[in-house]
Each structure stands twice: as C-alpha cells, then as structure tokens.
Chains A and B, each alone.
Chain A
Amino acid sequence: DGGITQSPKYLFRKEGQNVTLSCEQNLNHDAMYWYRQDPGQGLRLIYYSQIVNDFQKGDIAEGYSVSREKKESFPLTVTSAQKNPTAFYLCASRKGFREDSPLHFGNGTRLTVT
C-alpha cells in the first residue's frame, strides 16, 4: 500500500543532542512538508519542499534543518538550537503544487527532549 512512513513513533533525546526524524513516501509525490504540533494546538509549518534538491522555510524553521536529496525522502533534523523541541512532528506530502491534490500525512513522531 502506498503511504507515508514516519519513524520512529516515539523518540527520546537528551538536551543538547541533534536528532533526525525520518519521513519516507512511496506515493511518487513531488511536494513534502514538516509540521510541528504542540498539545492542544494546531499544526505549524516548519519546512516544505516542492521538488528534489529544493526546500523553503515555513513559519517556525529556526533550530531545524532538512534535506531533499531523493524524491521519496525528506528527513528533519532537530538541532540543539531549537529551544523547545519536545513536540509531535508530522510529515506530509502531496502530488504537486500545480495540482488539485490533498495532503497525505504520516502518523507522526513524538519527540521528547529532557
């Protein structure tokens, strides 16, 4: 079945460590997104990529980095510069920015930093 896989589901790290969250899709989608969700809050856009080897900052990119070396993969690194990294992270993709297509979401990674 086609879909988006985020791994791991739960992740624990010590403060000061960088951590990379995985996002893989086999939907052949061009565009991919990373959102952050805090308890009781909506989704906030971190980074997005409309095509391989290109990505743009969202509203809360500080302390995060991404890469898009392959169409199917869009890993997110939470760096030690991110002041409040504990959150629920969601990856999404859609067919292409020129197409009338919905977002497909993964089931998220819950990151806890202590």
Chain B
Amino acid sequence: DAKTTQPPSMDCAEGRAANLPCNHSTISGNEYVYWYRQIHSQGPQYIIHGLKNNETNEMASLIITEDRKSSTLILPHATLRDTAVYYCIAQRLGSNTGKLIFGQGTTLQVKP
C-alpha cells in the first residue's frame, strides 16, 4: 500500500477554509484516498474518500490531483470543534489489503 506524507501541523482561523495536503506519490490505480480525523482521546472518525474524482459531503471536500500523487482535504468553514489530528491513508480493494497503515497525521489547530 502506498505511503502518505502530511505536514505535522497547521493553523487555521475560525470561519476560514482549512486546506490540508497529503502526498501519496506511489499510489496505485486501485488505491482509494481516505481521510480520518481524531479528536483528543477518541477513536478516529471517517471523513471522506475518493479514487480519481473530487468528492464532497456534509463534512468536507476532497480534491485529488489528476496524476493522483497528492490530494487536499478542505474544511470549508472551520470551527473550533474541527481542531483534531487529520490522517490521510491509501486503501486498496481486493485480496491481501487488510494492512492499513496510518502515518503521523496533521494536527490542525483552529484559532478564534
């Protein structure tokens, strides 16, 4: 499975868009990009995922570059409750794909 690289930390002003980048330059054609976030001392929570196309749901938008080597998670109007660690992982379908590896993630601090 592809390795992902994220900046260790980012700040964002409350009410502004938070753009969290993820590099996955070795991603293969059948690997999805998944985003999760972890609020302190809780289990991670699924946010969004995509394969090739940009995706949007009620929580966030996901922009995947055309070559699929990187992606950006966008929280359109960040609130203080969005302060968390955000993880980007590459997840493949099919046999022998159970090993899902998380990196260090990006700590997003939303400031008033």
Contact = CB atoms under 8 A, between A and B. Distances in A.
Interface of A: 4, 6, 31, 33, 35, 41-45, 48-50, 56, 58-59, 88, 90, 92, 97-100, 102-108, 110
B109 to A, nearest CB: 14
Given A42-B104, A98-B94, A48 B43 contact: no
A45 B42 contact: no
Given A42-B103, A108-B41, A50 B34 contact: no
Nearest to A33: B100
Given A99-B93, A100-B32, A42 B102 contact: yes
30 contacts: A4-B43, A6-B43, A31-B98, A33-B98, A41-B104, A42-B87, A42-B104, A43-B87, A43-B102, A48-B98, A48-B99, A59-B101, A88-B41, A90-B43, A92-B43, A92-B44, A97-B94, A98-B95, A100-B49, A102-B36, A102-B46, A103-B34, A103-B44, A103-B100, A104-B46, A105-B43, A105-B45, A106-B43, A107-B42, A107-B43
